[in-house]
Amino acid sequence: MSKVEPVTFAIIKSGLDMIVDEMAYTVMRTARSSIVRDVLDYSVTLCDRDGRILTQAKTVALHLGAVPDGIEALLARHKIETMKEGDVFILNDPYEGGMHLPDIFMFRPIFKDSRVFAFSVVIAHHTDVGGRVAGSNAADSTEIFQEGLRIAPMRLFEAGKPNETLFDIIRHNVRLPDLVVGDLEAQLATCLVGEREIQKLADRYGPETLYLYFDALIDYGERLTRQTISDWPNGTYQFTDYIDGDGMVDQAILIVCSITVKDGAVSIDFEGSSPQVKGAINSTLSFVKSASYLAVRCVLDQDVPNNAGVYRCINVSAPDGSVLNPLSPAPVAARALTGYRVVDTVMGALAKITPERVRAAGEGGNTVVAFGGYDSQTREPFVMVDMINGAWGGGYDVDGVDGVTNPSQNMSNLPVETMEARYPLRIDEYGFRADSGGAGKHRGGLGLVRKYTLLADSAVLQVRADRVDHRPYGLRGGLPGASSENYFSQGHDELTSMPPKFTREVQEGATILHHQAGAGGYGDPMTRDPAKVAWDVAEEKISRDAAASEYGVILHDEGFEVDHVATEARRAQAWRDGGLR
């Protein structure tokens, strides 16, 4: 560090941050599919020649902690000395560096003076990678061989020349080859942007100087992380959360977390979590690591850089053969749900360590609704994968947030106009779900409502939801958010309740209605400012009945003025009946 000049350090750090943000915008501008361009299910980062993350863009954070395992798998097959300028590598195999098959990693080695000195990395969720169900995301697959095309780490381009054999294999094994190849081309364009811009830094400072500052930047991330953790009390803190089931067996799946804080570092152990399951919600250990890193990063100071130095302070382990570290060929297509629950569980344990920095549970991760089928006239396929992003929980001194991406995602809800223009679907309802946010001194955010009607002759419908039996938890006396609900009709009958996860063939006129879970509240609801409760009633976020029953707030019959006398009596009665919640 004695050789590091502070101004140069700041310039290089800011330069790297700007490069990855420009890369992120490049994906958005050039991608072909809705799930990448509109839903924003992608991530970008820059790594040094050893595969250490230098910085990451404001994209899907839950992806990026898996990049070290991905690069490790890449370098195990392709030694860095064998790489050539113009090479591009891809992989998606969950048992060799990947997470699940739709997430295709792309790595481009960046050269200076004929040596690799960095990597551009882009991860994108592709609309379809084959398999038994359109979208390659089904929760009811029972082995990975049903889930689609598996790609071990291999060259997509060699010295700038495309690997036409691999391109042909991809085109012949996916339902929408133009979209998939188009998104691969968007990933490549983004890698080239990263290469161009970081080479400008190398031209200015020289690669050897950059190596020095890369080391300094990662050390800086580690130092700030250890400083924060050193303020936490040493000890072991536990928390357990649940997944409603795997869609095959109606039995709760346990996610058990123990965090040990010791001398500026944390160990996160998932011993006691459920064994791997038959359905496709198993999660690879790389994804569990990523979710754990993310949860810890959320409670660090804002000025801690997002790089490999943070990871040095966090050790993550999970038992072999568990739902968090499955053995091949366990299915993993719907593993995102388990990753979200890992975040919730780690955050629950962190709430015992640093309560002022942790919110109550969010909606539980996005709900996935997918329709896949063929046009009856042209036989052209369509695949619509909608990811409904919901709510944040209440916090130490703030209310939850309504209708926003889960903190682990940085994604977007697909606009209704886009969905109806591109797919044979009609959206009959889209809005906030009143009374869904958990009551608290600081209210949980509201979940969303989406109702779809199929306009094509037929399709396969997939739904992956959760938080039906195990609602998003509240903290410090806050109440849990409302349960998730699914309802289905074939179009000629009444809507009937459905399980959280299912796949079925449907016909024209079929309707699926999803009520997303709300987020948990923070603090005793009987201590919430009555004026804020009245405002929520006026905004139709909560009902008058909920104001009275959950918050002890009584409004006058007309308008939204608080009846202070009745409110004080109601809350006093709540004290006499059992004290604060």
- Please state the pTM of the whole predicted model: 0.95
CA distance 579 to 322: 41
Residues 412 and 511 in one domain: yes
| Domain span including residue 546 | 528-578
Largest CA distance in the chain: 79
Residues 374 and 499 in one domain: yes
Query: Of 180, 206, 222, which residue is a domain's last?
Result: 222
In a domain, 188, yes or no: yes
In a domain, 331, yes or no: no
Residues 517 and 534 in one domain: no
Residues 450 and 566 in one domain: no
Q: What's the sign of the alpha-carbon dihedral 293, 199, 78, 147? A: positive
CA dihedral 26, 27, 31, 35 (to 10 degrees): -150
In a domain, 444, yes or no: yes
Residue 1 confidence (pLDDT): 57
In a domain, 127, yes or no: yes
In a domain, 465, yes or no: yes
Residue 460: closest CA among 380, 368, 383: 383
Query: Of 199, 222, 245, which residue is a domain's last?
Result: 222
Query: Of 184, 207, 222, which residue is a domain's last?
Result: 222
Residues 177 and 39 in one domain: yes
Q: Give the CA count within 13 Å in the CB-facing half-sphere of 22.
A: 16
In a domain, 256, yes or no: no
Domains: count for the chain: 3
Residues 423 and 560 in one domain: no
Residues 455 and 573 in one domain: no
Residues 69 and 167 in one domain: yes
In a domain, 180, yes or no: yes
Residues 363 and 476 in one domain: yes
Residues 447 and 535 in one domain: no
CA dihedral 458, 429, 386, 179 (to 10 degrees): 70
Residue 580 confidence (pLDDT): 45
Residue 581 confidence (pLDDT): 43
Residues 479 and 554 in one domain: no
In a domain, 187, yes or no: yes
Averages of pLDDT over each 10 residues, the chain, 581 residues: 86 96 96 94 96 93 90 96 97 96 98 94 97 92 97 98 98 97 98 97 93 96 96 97 92 97 96 97 96 95 93 97 97 95 98 96 94 90 93 96 85 93 96 97 97 96 96 97 96 91 95 97 96 97 96 93 95 77 43
CA distance 342 to 66: 14
Residues 455 and 552 in one domain: no
